[in-house]
Chain A
């Protein structure tokens, strides 16, 4: 029924989407947190509004209290604009950068696993990503909804519910369809968020949406009533459940405990426990938690303690997590004074810290920070010692959240002091301040600094930078003044850096700043401010103005070091030689600019050195004349520099290739010092009737006296094949002399098979007599061993084994199997001795490697005779000898069954000691399960600290599946419910597999309900399995199956639609009347078909379907899907036609981000650059996010048209998107250059490109793309110019990247002569080894690149090591499938005596196998991946050893 409504989306079935969900559901335990008794607000009445207004649109809900402004009907375009405020906006930006949805999901999973919580930012980001990716799957929706509850402890409860509603509405708009699991998840969120809603309305909405409530739904509705103390309401639902014959589970009773308590009837609450027992349900931990929470709300600590004692006397045990709920209830109902008493009882189990952190966070959020602090104080002290033995810093999370929640300063200060005094945190106040600054809370920050000052801690100017940097960006002068005044009150003077970086730039001018600050009462006559002013002038290059300032006698003393950098900058900018010299002179003479111990003369000398040092070589050359004049003036001013400093300057000039200036500097040297000639500057790396015929031929040949050896052999073989032993032996006797070793071998095996041991042995002896050097095939030897063992002739068997060893028989897998069967046969007879002897011999000889399987018959022998103790001893012995513990599960199970506690203890001790306690516990757990001792099993699995071992759980589950043990398996699933890190989906999947095998759809259905109860988000494969069980048993599938697109292929047209309208439900829901297909259902179907067809690439058919569906109210989604598919095929015309149809049917229709991006790409491909650009602009206007690929193609398209300005425009626009991070920084640069080249403006291009390398030395900047393009275009004029530029960069600027890029591009394009020529002129290219090596390695990954590699190596012979080169070459030959070259290479390697790695050998071996030749050496046995990893490990260790 409801399934009709759920097809409206494009389903993506890909391994990666499976993976996404896979990771997310892995964390059973953290997500499990969602399932737990909820504590609720008390005494809030709500009106039960019966019925539902008819205005509710089918399949669309309007939530009574949902604060979602402006319901958006068609979301694709409208949502992009974002109705909510700035926060989402910035999230939008950030998520644009994250782009990859998988990444976000993995991140979410990681967050939950690590911390048990999710941050709001992260969740919003993922929400946004899911919306953006288009068509959210049911699982994604489930995941998001589930996350809106207690996984967000840092968010107030109301906001969480609002978020849940936003998610619900938005995803529905986007085509997500909801089933019972979604409604149940929403209910859970309501419960966790204590959201008040009307359960009856909720049910009505589910009915309106044709979704059948199930047991979990009812349970949660009962919980909702109970949370409000409405026992009557709860009873109504309970009534429903009874009429539907649904089981009343423990959860229901637990709710009732809460319900009665909330209604103020503790007596009834307490009595529920007896009612439960009466109904045959034992109260579980959750029951007791509900009860204790009820006491907590009354502040009745005595009763809580009493209850705790009661629990201790029962089978159930409470976890820390359970106690935390009690703490929460106490704190929130104003009984914080009792928190300590409960906290003390916690055991600090594994996972305590994250759980407790979440408790603290949610308490802080809910205004209970004092109680949170009490909890924090009990954190295990192990945590105190920070990582790497640093000083303790416990409680950062606490302080940060308090700051974020705007807790009062005095409270914060109090916590900090207490944390410091108790040694929890050495720098609590500093950290709190850090958080305040980070959150940009100026007022709080100033208050905190005051507190720090009182504590005698230093306050430094840079503390205010995080605030100022923010205000400066906004040019918020009021904010700046507030900060400065705050600092002043604290007696801290802002320093020069503070003023010059953050303050002055916010004002129109220095004067304006000075005046405004003064007016506001800030002291401006400080060293910091004045220095900042100086820096400002210098930065502007206003040296005259600067000179005026500093030459003023009233100018205060200010050390040069404060403004030296700016001054150098100013010198570089200015041509005012006069002022330069005068400033230098002033500095030289005036002691004000030089702190006492230093000498101004020397200071100036270093300044000159710094000046030269601070200029790049082209800056130096550009200013050569100015500098010459400057030095000359300095000379006239009698300014001298020490020889040492001169030498420094000389070296600078030399290495900057401006030696011409040296003579101008030398004149400044102190004549008294002698100049010694300086050393040269150093210059910079894998028949019927046959026997009859043969007999006749043999007879014929014999009669003719011709040789018949061949026929004889064939005949023996044929006789053996047909098991004719007697005739074969007869023949053998007749033609003794014609018997070959092969004939003997087959005969021996046949004798063994016929249990004719004596004959076999005599044949063997005969063979040995004839030719002692002949050895049998190992399988034949082993068959003989088996026969001997069977006849109890152990000694001879051992002899045969020894002979095998002597003859170096190679043991195949079949031999091992035969050996195992030999042992197993002995085991069935309980013949321990035979097993031991054979086993030990085979192991000792090294014929067979001991493994669990081969060791197990020995244990089986004991178990066969019921000797459990002997079995255990034998297993232990195996462990000692071979490190195998065979059949230990069967032994323990046997011991448990027979109640052999003593031996069991021995077994446990042993396992514990040898394999660890965890292994022991699992062994015991499985044994209890196997013997149906579920109570005991539960105790074991709930051992604190035990965590999930997926391998072991799988082993046992598979065993259950193989043996059809449904009950045991169900219990396994059930008992592991709270196991730490247990993959719940995986566990349910095992159970479902068995359901599938046993065709038990009822069981499957109940498992699905249980999954909802547990809040497990199923992986797609689980849903598919469940659906297939239901379908194959003729049941309706009550949810959307992820693979519908694949098998739901409507052959053509409409009949399928009508077919689908008939529900195949076996039990039609009683309440809902059989409804005709709603328009929404038909729309959903059409939508699905379009998606399906698109997915299969049948766009033309999809287009027909769409055109035909004129009367159907489709959502924008199918149009968009079709447009994208059409564009992906390059069919622009049809895509535009679909857009027009969409617009005519849905006026608000706008293409999605992805569709628009594809449109850009398509336009560019068709060389319609203008159109592409206008799409791009339109996207930006509607706040859409073009993909990086679209932007790249656009820019490249523009470049090919020489559109320089347009590229710059795009660059600017892309920056506003904040998406630049995903775009290569060089994209714009390279393409602008190409555009210049296209316009024949080579100079501008060169100037730009040169700037890349002569400007800031930055990491990797490649202009390879430019070189490649011009080479491709055969624009040799440009090539020449660019080559000249590259040479210049290399030879004058020591910047080799461009030359190296060019060199490799030459090689890549096959211009080897040019490459050589370039190399001659820029020898340094050959030094760029990393670069060359990376080219070779990359080239080796593609076919047909051998010559390029060879060219590189020929030109730069020493660019890489031989082994590395040969490895790359072998890889090349591998991709080229060139065996001949590979052989030649291998010969060369051998000739040179090199030892190559396994990967090399493996590749060579593969080539041999591919060409059907035999590999002439031993092929490395492991996989490629194995060796690749091995190599990687090696390199890793090598590099760490360095």
Chain B
């Protein structure tokens, strides 16, 4: 079921180098399955992102694929990928982020 409610299969990605933005992360994680959304909070004070993001897959499969691949290295930096335990707090980021 495509739009099965709010159910998103999310991974929490940390140690994201500052050189990557939402676009690059989405592209990378897209190889494991369809990425429904990618939330990367930016610090309004500094203009740098906070070094972590959430990547939401449309399916459990995407999530599992992403979790099984280890290590995750983009441009020489190793990312830390974990299953997201707590759902993203509300829709707070949705407004700030243009994402899909």
Same assembly: yes
Q: Which chain A residues have a beta carbon within 8 Å of chain B's beta carbons?
A: 389-391, 426-427, 430, 434, 437-438, 458, 460-463, 465-470, 496-497, 502, 535, 561-566, 569, 606, 609, 613-614, 642, 644-645, 647-649, 651-652, 1256-1257
A460 lies within 8 A of B1 (CB): no
Nearest to A452 among chain B residues (CB) is: B19
B91 lies within 8 A of A614 (CB): yes
Q: Which chain B residues have a beta carbon within 8 Å of chain A's beta carbons?
A: 1-6, 15, 17-21, 23-24, 42, 44-49, 75-78, 89-92, 94-95, 97-100
B47 lies within 8 A of A468 (CB): yes
What 5 new A-B contacts, CB under 8 Å, besides A390-B78, A496-B98, A647-B1? A430-B18, A535-B98, A563-B98, A648-B3, A1257-B92
Cα separation A1228 to B4 with both chains bound (whole Å):
41
Q: Which residues of A contact B92 (CB under 8 A)?
A: 1256-1257
Q: Specify which of B24, B78, B99 is in contact with A460 (CB 8 Å cutoff).
A: B24
Q: Which residues of A contact B18 (CB under 8 A)?
A: 430, 434
B98 lies within 8 A of A609 (CB): no
Cα separation A61 to B17 with both chains bound (whole Å):
52
Q: Specify which of B47, B49, B89 is in contact with A437 (CB 8 Å cutoff).
A: B47
Cα separation A1 to B95 with both chains bound (whole Å):
71
How far apart are A690's CB and chain B's nearest CB, in angstroms?
79
Cα separation A390 to B72 with both chains bound (whole Å):
11
- Can you give 27 A-B contacts (C-beta < 8 A)? A389-B78, A390-B77, A391-B77, A391-B78, A438-B46, A438-B48, A458-B19, A460-B21, A460-B23, A468-B47, A469-B44, A469-B45, A470-B47, A496-B98, A561-B100, A564-B98, A564-B100, A566-B98, A569-B95, A606-B3, A613-B6, A613-B91, A644-B4, A645-B3, A649-B3, A651-B5, A1257-B89
Q: Which residues of A contact B5 (CB under 8 A)?
A: 648, 651-652
B99 lies within 8 A of A561 (CB): yes
| Max chain A Cβ within 10 angstroms of own Cβ: one of B3, B89, B92 | B3
B19 lies within 8 A of A463 (CB): yes
Q: Which residues of B contact A468 (CB under 8 A)?
A: 47
| Max chain A Cβ within 10 angstroms of own Cβ: one of B21, B47, B94, B97 | B47
Q: Which residues of B contact A606 (CB under 8 A)?
A: 3
Cα separation A652 to B94 with both chains bound (whole Å):
16
Cα separation A758 to B26 with both chains bound (whole Å):
95
Q: Specify which of A566, A569, A644, A649 is in contact with B1 (CB 8 Å cutoff).
A: A644
Given contacts A390-B78, A391-B77, A465-B47, contact A647 B17 (CB under 8 A): no
A427 lies within 8 A of B99 (CB): no
B44 lies within 8 A of A430 (CB): no
Nearest to B21 among chain A residues (CB) is: A462
Nearest to A615 among chain B residues (CB) is: B91
B99 lies within 8 A of A565 (CB): yes
How far apart are B53's CB and chain A's nearest CB, in angstroms?
13
Top-10 shortest CB links A-B? A648-B3, A466-B47, A469-B47, A465-B47, A1257-B90, A561-B100, A462-B21, A644-B2, A651-B5, A565-B98
Q: Specify which of A427, A430, A562 is in contact with B98 (CB 8 Å cutoff).
A: A562
Nearest to A651 among chain B residues (CB) is: B5
How far apart are B30's CB and chain A's nearest CB, in angstroms?
13
Q: Which residues of A contact B4 (CB under 8 A)?
A: 644, 647-648
How far apart are B79's CB and chain A's nearest CB, in angstroms?
10
Cα separation A423 to B96 with both chains bound (whole Å):
39
A427 lies within 8 A of B47 (CB): no
Given contacts A460-B24, A647-B1, contact A565 B94 (CB under 8 A): yes
Cα separation A642 to B98 with both chains bound (whole Å):
24
Q: Which residues of A contact B94 (CB under 8 A)?
A: 565, 614
Cα separation A460 to B15 with both chains bound (whole Å):
18
Cα separation A390 to B17 with both chains bound (whole Å):
12
Nearest to A430 among chain B residues (CB) is: B19
Q: Which residues of A contact B91 (CB under 8 A)?
A: 613-614
Given contacts A391-B77, A469-B45, A647-B1, contact A497 B98 (CB under 8 A): yes
How far apart are B41's CB and chain A's nearest CB, in angstroms?
13
Q: Specify which of A427, A463, A496 is in contact with B76 (CB 8 Å cutoff).
A: A427
How far apart are A565's CB and chain B's nearest CB, in angstroms?
5
| Max chain A Cβ within 10 angstroms of own Cβ: one of B24, B89, B94, B97 | B94
Q: Which residues of A contact B17 (CB under 8 A)?
A: 427, 430
How far apart are B5's CB and chain A's nearest CB, in angstroms?
5
B3 lies within 8 A of A609 (CB): yes
Cα separation A535 to B95 with both chains bound (whole Å):
12
Q: Which residues of A contact B75 (CB under 8 A)?
A: 427
How far apart are B6's CB and chain A's nearest CB, in angstroms?
7
How far apart are A969's CB and chain B's nearest CB, in angstroms?
52
Cα separation A983 to B36 with both chains bound (whole Å):
58
Nearest to B73 among chain A residues (CB) is: A391
B95 lies within 8 A of A466 (CB): no
Q: Which residues of A contact B100 (CB under 8 A)?
A: 561, 564
Cα separation A647 to B44 with both chains bound (whole Å):
37
Cα separation A466 to B44 with both chains bound (whole Å):
9
How far apart are A641's CB and chain B's nearest CB, in angstroms?
10
| Max chain A Cβ within 10 angstroms of own Cβ: one of B2, B20, B46, B97 | B2
Q: Specify which of A465, A614, A649, A1256 is in contact with B48 (CB 8 Å cutoff).
A: A465
Cα separation A461 to B19 with both chains bound (whole Å):
10
Cα separation A426 to B100 with both chains bound (whole Å):
32
Cα separation A470 to B45 with both chains bound (whole Å):
8
Q: Which residues of B contact A427 (CB under 8 A)?
A: 17, 19, 75-77
B3 lies within 8 A of A647 (CB): yes
How far apart are B1's CB and chain A's nearest CB, in angstroms?
5
Cα separation A565 to B98 with both chains bound (whole Å):
5
How far apart are A346's CB and chain B's nearest CB, in angstroms?
30
Nearest to A502 among chain B residues (CB) is: B47
Nearest to B43 among chain A residues (CB) is: A469
Cα separation A468 to B48 with both chains bound (whole Å):
11
